[in-house]
Amino acid sequence: MHTLVIYDITDDQIRMKIAEACKSAGLVRIQKSAFLGTINSQVRKGLIMKLRKILGDQEGNIQIFLICEADIRLREMIGKPTEEEEDMLIL
């Protein structure tokens, strides 16, 4: 399963912390506020707990999607991928 995290956060500090949490969980940045990757359910649960803690009762919205292999293959991209994603696509 692939994990997609998308977030909509105005506070720069919180946004940065969310990006760091996604990155250290092993996800790859595919947009400024979107991370994607294959991580196991334990890592994913840990990440979700961490994200809940980071946001606390501050304003914002974070969504975590699970996408199966069959569906991820149907993904369409318009425009240039991020450097991080480009590296992942090459690997």
Structure token pair of residue 15: 């946004």
Restricting to residues 47-66, name those near its own copies by CB under 8 A: 48, 51-52, 55, 58-66
Total of residues contacting its own copies (CB under 8 A): 37
Please report how close the Cβ of residue 91 comes to its own copies at its closest, in angstroms.
19
Q: How many CB atoms lie within 10 A of CB 64?
A: 15
Please report how close the Cβ of residue 39 comes to its own copies at its closest, in angstroms.
14
Residue 90 in the binding site for its own copies (CB under 8 A): no
d(CA 49, CA 2): 18
- Among the listed residues 12, 8, 1, 42, the one whose alpha carbon sits nearest the alpha carbon of residue 25: 42
Q: How many CB atoms lie within 10 A of CB 2?
A: 16
Residue 11 in the binding site for its own copies (CB under 8 A): no
Residue 74 in the binding site for its own copies (CB under 8 A): yes
Residue in 12, 42, 79, 91 binding its own copies, rule: CB under 8 A: 79
